[in-house]
Each structure stands twice: as C-alpha cells, then as structure tokens.
Structure 1
Amino acid sequence: MLEIFLFALAMMYSPGPVNMLSLFAGVSDYGWRALRFCAGVGVAMCLLFIVTGYLGSSFMTEALQGVAALAGGSYIAYLALKIIKASFQVQKANNTPQNLTFVAGFLMQLTNPKAMVAVLPIVTVQFPNAHVEGAMILLMSMMLGAMAGGAPASYFVAGNRLKQAVLNPTIMSWLQRVMGVMLLFLAVEFLISGLSMLAQGDNLLSKLAVKV
C-alpha cells in the first residue's frame, strides 16, 4: 500500500503545468481563490482513479488519450499566451490571467497526459498487488485525489511565501514571460504526444481491420 502513495507522491508533486500555474499564482499574489483551482485538480484525479479503477484501463485507448492530450495542450497554450500578453501590460499585484477556477483545474487535469501516466500504473499494477478492490477503490481514489489537489496547493503556498521577493513590476513582467514560454513548450509537448497517440490508435485500428 505504501508503494502506491510513494509513486503518486513522486508523480503528482513533480513540476508540471498545473503545479507551475499554482506556483505562479502564489508569487503573483493572486489570492486564496487559487485553491478552488487546486480543488478542481483533486476532483479530476479522483474521478480518473474511480472510472479507471472500476471500468478497467481498456477504455482509455491511445486515440482517447491522444484527443485528451490535444485538448490539454491547446488549453495550456491559451493560458501561456494570456500570461505573456499580461506581461506587457501595466503590472498590478494580481496581474494573473483570471482563469484559475475550479472548472479550469478540473478540465486541465482531466486532459493532462501526465495524469494518466500516474493513474494507469497505479490502477493496473499496484491496486491488484495491494488487493485494492470493491469499496477500497473508491476510498483509495478519494485519498489519491486529495493528494493530487494538495500538490498545486503546496506550490501555491510556496509561491505565496516568496512573493515579497519578486513583486517588483520589472521582475514580475519577466517572470510572466518565462512562465508563458515554459507553458508553451509544455503545450507543444502535449500536442506532439496527442498526435502520436492518435497515430498509434489509427495504426491499431488498421491492423484489426486487416485481421477481420
């Protein structure tokens, strides 16, 4: 059982688009409203664990993962461009794109390929090894979902503690630009990954069609 939480901890608390946005929100003095974004992330992960745990991983095909990656990459690119645009405007204490809502966190995590990278090994390998089944799947999903929501929340708190060092308007502008460029790179990675998954899914369908 401990291995499940250690693996989830390593995957969920490593730097990623969700955690980076939360860190930036803390640094930018966005306010504690950002925690609703973190809650959306946690609920999305809980849902992924529940659905995958009870229905099995077979429903999460390469094509479906590809579509999710493309959607996630497009949304991250949109946020990145908004952040870069904001960096060239008059700086305010909370000059952060007003998109860190519960729904934004939920959808962003739901379409995050990294989320499925964390979910699938746990559900397909570690759950059976730990004899997690029945009602335990629901309980474990809720606990892991809470861990997932805690990851961006911890990044937000860390950024909030550091904000006094970087509230200078010039520093904030460059921080926004760097953050935007990093998110754009992540968005491109998501889009490439999504196209690759779709291509693999099409190849699989073609092979099955030939066999039939």
Structure 2
Amino acid sequence: MLEIFIFALVMMYSPGPVNMLSLFAGVSDYGWRALRFCAGVGAAMCLLFLATGYLGSSFMTGVLQGVAALIGGAYIAYLAVKIIKASFSSQHADRTPQNLTFVSGFLMQLTNPKAMVAVLPIVTVQFPQAQVEGLMILLMSVFLGAMAGGAPASYFVAGHRLKQAVLNPTIMRWLQRVMGVTLLALALQFLYNGYLLLS
C-alpha cells in the first residue's frame, strides 16, 4: 500500500497548472481564500478516485479523456490570458485572477489530464494489488483526495513565504507574465492532447 502513497505523492506534488496557480497566489498575497481553491482540487480528486474505483476505468474512454483535455486546456488558457493582461495593468499587477474559488479548483482538476494520469494507474493496478475494494475504496479515495488538496495548499504556503523576495512591482509583473505564458503553454499541450485523443 506504501507504493500507492508514494506514486500519488510524486504525481500530485509535481509542478502543474493547479500547483503553479497556488504558488503564484501565495506570492501575490492573494490571501488564505486560495485554500478554498485547494479544497476544490481535493474534492475533484476524491470524486475521480471514487468514480474510477467503483465504476472501473472502462467508463473513462479516450473520447471522454479528449473532451476533458479540451475543456481543461480552454480553462487554463483563459486563466493564463487573465494573468498576462493583469501584468500590464499597474493597479492589478500584484494580484491573481479573482476566481480562485472552490468551484474553479474543482472544475480545473476534474478536467486536468494530469489528474487522470495519476488516478488510473492507482485504481487499475495498485488498488487490486493492495486488495483495496469495497469500503476501502471510499476511505482511500477520501485520503488521496485530501493529499491532492494538500499539494496546491503547500505550493500556496511556499509562495506566501517567498513573497517578501518579490515585492518589487516590476518583478511581480514579470513573474505574472512568465506564469501566464507557462500556463498558456500547458493549455496548448492539453488542447493538442485532447485533439489527438478525439481524432
């Protein structure tokens, strides 16, 4: 069972769009409201583990993964454009988009292809090997969902601690631009992967 947690830890805590947005929210002094975004991420992962654990991975077809990748890519591109636009406005240069809510975290993680890359091997290979079934699927899904919510929360706290190093507005504007371009690149990758899955 230790292998499940190690794999989940590596997959969930590696840099990705959700974790990077949380890091940036911490650096930008967005406030502890960003933790509701992290809770949404955890809830989405819990739901994905429950659905694939009880219904099986057969319902997550290539077409469904492609649609999720397209939706996720479009949403990430939207956030990237908002961040880049904010970097050119002096009054908002130090702020992240105001839509880091529970719902946005939930939807972003639910449509994040990286989430399914983490969920499917755990549910289809590691759960059966560890004899995780019945009620244990529910308990493991809740625990792994909490781990997933902890990933962006830890990035947020790290960003919050680093904010003193980047309080200069010029540095903040460039940080926003780099973050926006990085998210845009991720969005394009998601859109491309979605296109491949649907074609």
TM-score when scaled to structure 2?
A: 0.99
- Map 1:104-143 onto structure 2 (within 5 A): 104-143=104-143
Asked whether 1:71 is paired with 2:74, we answer no
Mapped partners of 2:92, 2:162: distance in 1:
17
Q: What's the CA shift string for 1:74-102, capped at 9, x where partnerless?
A: 00000000000000001458521101000
- Gap change, CA 1:32 and 1:81, over 3 Å in 2: same
State the number of aligned residues: 199
- In the other structure, the counterpart of 1:36 is 36
Matches within 5 A, 1:152-191: 152-191=152-191
Sort the Cα spacing of 1:18 and 1:39 in 2 relative to 1 into closer, same or farther, 3 A. same
Contact 2:94 2:169 in 1 (8 A): no
Structure 1: give runs of 5+ residues left out of the alignment. Answer: 200-212
Code of the residue aligned with 1:127 in structure 2: it is F
How far off its partner does 1:185 sit?
A: 0.2
Matches of 1:93 and 1:181, distance apart in 2: 15
d(CA) in 1 for partners of 2:6, 2:95: 36
Mapped pair 1:52 → 2:46: no
User: Cα RMSD (Å) of the superposition?
Assistant: 0.9
Q: 8 Å contact 1:93–1:167 — kept in the other structure?
A: no
Asked if 2 retains the 8 angstrom alpha-carbon contact of 1:11 and 1:118, the reply is: yes
One-letter identity of the residue aligned with 2:63: A
Q: CA-to-partner distance for each residue in 1:38-86, whole Å, 9 max, x for gaps?
A: 0000000000000000000000000000000000000000000000000
Counterpart in 2 of 1:14? 14
For residues 87-137 of structure 1, give each alpha carbon's deviation from its aligned partner in whole angstroms, at most 9, with x where no partner exists: 000145852110100000000000000000000000000000000000000
Contact 1:91–1:169 (8 Å) recurs in 2: no
Aligned residue number for residue 98 of structure 2:
98
Distance, in Å, in 1 between the alignment partners of 2:188 and 2:139 is 35
Greater C-alpha Rg: 1
Moved beyond 2 Å, runs of 4+: 91-94
Query: Percent same amino acid among aligned pairs?
Result: 83
Contact 2:27 2:160 in 1 (8 A): yes
In the aligned structure 1, how far is the partner of 2:53 from the partner of 2:2? 18
Segments of 5+ residues of structure 2 without an aligned counterpart are: none
Contact residue 69 and residue 193 of structure 1 kept, 8 A: yes
Residue 86 in structure 1 maps to residue 107 in structure 2: no
Letter in 2 for 1:138: L
